[in-house]
Copies of this chain bind each other. A is one copy, B any other.
């Protein structure tokens, strides 16, 4: 049985999140939501309005021990988190393949590149090479500002960092190369508006 909010978004009970309960510092963002919540909300809006089908991938888990009790659900009794080999979000919009990651930083003047792993960058390069639309959504939590940065721009900084380049991307550069996304009521983060802009500039991406 599925329930929907009046705005058409799907009701998802908190308990079925795949995130473990961890203590986290209080967020002073506009709605007290994490970037992940905001993206998930936006994706739910896009889905329920037949605009795009974009989901967060489940966290990959290595299962070691499972118990199969009679007359009840299989219980995983020992498992470990695995490092994801891809980005967190992918899906389809106007027939195009969309692939991105969402990252928060508490920094105020630059985005530290250590937020990315080598395999995520490799995955984005592979997707871009196969004709996908790849980017990262970056939130400066303390500034309450959200940007979309094209993967190709991210690679520029990533590839330079091991050649004595900066270990972070200055905010001023993100302001120049990226696209600021202004919060809306629905969808919370209208990132597909930027994707439309990218598609208009180059209909072949």
Q: A-side interface residues toward B, CB under 8 Å? A: 15-21, 47, 50-53, 55, 57-63, 66, 73-82, 84-86, 90-99, 123, 126-127, 129-132, 204-205
Chain B CB within 10 Å, residue with most, of A58, A94, A131, A132: A58
Q: Which residues of B contact A123 (CB under 8 A)?
A: 53
Contact A19 B76 (CB under 8 A): no
In the bound complex, CA of A78 to CA of B65 (Å): 10
Could you say which of B18, B57, B90 contacts A63, with CB atoms under 8 Å apart?
Answer: B18
Residue on B nearest A84 in the bound complex, by CB: B58
Q: Are B86 and A76 in contact (CB under 8 A)?
A: no
Check B63–A19 contact: CB distance below 8 A.
yes
Residues on B with C-beta less than 8 A from A85 are 55
- Contact partner of A74 (CB less than 8 A), chosen from B50, B81, B86, B96, is B81
Counting every copy of the chain, the complex holds 2
Q: Chain B residues near A94 (CB, 8 Å)?
A: 130-131
Question: How many Å lie between the Cα of A63 and that of B50 in the bound state?
Answer: 30
* Chain B residues near A127 (CB-CB < 8 A): 53, 92
A55 lies within 8 A of B86 (CB): yes
In the complex, are the beta carbons of A76 and B66 less than 8 A apart? no
Q: Closest B-chain residue to A57, C-beta based?
A: B57
Residue of B59, B63, B76 near A78 (CB, 8 A) is B76
Ranked 8 nearest A-B pairs via Cβ = A95-B131, A92-B97, A58-B60, A76-B79, A92-B132, A20-B66, A97-B97, A58-B58
28 contacts between A and B (CB under 8 A): A16-B62, A18-B61, A20-B66, A20-B76, A21-B66, A47-B126, A50-B129, A50-B130, A51-B130, A52-B130, A53-B132, A58-B60, A58-B84, A61-B61, A73-B80, A74-B80, A76-B76, A76-B78, A77-B78, A90-B90, A91-B130, A92-B130, A92-B132, A93-B130, A93-B131, A95-B96, A95-B205, A96-B97
